[in-house]
């Protein structure tokens, strides 16, 4: 797969040199607040995660998220498609903006928009979903801006930070995404 370019963001294959950044991010409590991670992760464990990712279906390998930085690019996170069900033409998405200096600048929304384009135009999926904690309004807002709609709620389905929280299920259908793209072009 070639790189996927947007206005300010590009998605590229994750590289071994990215692991040191991922390691720092997955051990930052502010970053992991909205993620399913809750235990400290060693550098070796993060390297093993990367090694296992190399063995995955090529369509499910993680993608690095980079933003323009002068004449170059700066790594700010990663994302990907997983759990692809080819018979049902569906998959689940995940994203982490680990570089906190990149928060609240629209990069997550643009990365999700690029990932959706990849899902619908390259992978030929019909439905893409994700799960988000109810106490993560910044992520929910970014997903809604990218076209996701809430389709359900798993009440008190996760225990994090000393309390139970709901998990919100969100999705985008190809027909909805196509309509949004046509609307933006007019």
pTM over 0.85: yes
Rounded-to-integer distance, Cα 82 and Cα 4, Å: 18
pLDDT of residue 161: 83
| Pairwise pLDDT comparison (161 vs 80), residue with the higher score | 80
Per-residue pLDDT band for 34 (boundaries 50, 70, 90) equals confident
| Pairwise pLDDT comparison (35 vs 156), residue with the higher score | 156
- Secondary structure (H, E, C), the chain: CCCEECCCEEEEECCHHHHHHHHHHHCCHHHHCCCCCCCCCCHHHHHHHHHHHHCCCHHHCCEEEEEEECCEEEEEEEEEEEEEECCCCEEEEEEEECCHHHCCCCHHHHHHHHHHHHHHHHCCCCEEEEEEECCCHHHHHHHHHHCCEEEEEEEEEEEECCEEEEEEEEEEEHHHHHHHHHHHHC
In this prediction, residues 130-158 reach a mean pLDDT of 96
Percent above pLDDT 70 for the chain: 99
Q: For residue range 147-169, what is the model confidence (pLDDT) as tens digits?
A: 999 999 999 999 988 999 999 99
Q: Which fold has domain 4-185?
A: Aminopeptidase (3.40.630)
Token pair in block for residue 12 = 């590229």
């Amino acid at each position: 797969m070639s790189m996927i370019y947007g206005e300010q963001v590009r998605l590229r294959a994750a590289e071994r040199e990215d692991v040191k950044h991922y390691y720092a991010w997955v051990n930052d409590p502010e970053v992991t607040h909205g993620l399913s991670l809750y235990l400290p992760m060693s550098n070796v464990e993060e390297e093993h995660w990367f090694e296992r990712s190399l063995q995955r279906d090529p369509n499910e390998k993680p993608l690095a998220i980079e933003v323009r930085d002068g004449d170059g690019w700066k790594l700010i996170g990663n994302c990907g498609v997983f759990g692809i069900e080819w018979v049902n033409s569906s998959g689940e998405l995940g994203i982490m903006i680990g570089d906190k200096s990149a928060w609240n600048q629209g990069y997550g929304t643009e990365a999700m928009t690029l990932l959706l384009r990849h899902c619908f135009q390259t992978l030929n999926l019909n439905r893409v979903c994700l799960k988000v904690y109810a106490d993560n309004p910044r992520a929910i807002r970014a997903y809604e801006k990218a076209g996701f709609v809430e389709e359900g709620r798993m009440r008190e389905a996760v225990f994090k930070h000393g309390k139970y929280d709901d998990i919100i299920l969100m999705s985008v259908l190809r027909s909805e995404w196509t309509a949004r793209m046509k609307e933006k072009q007019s």
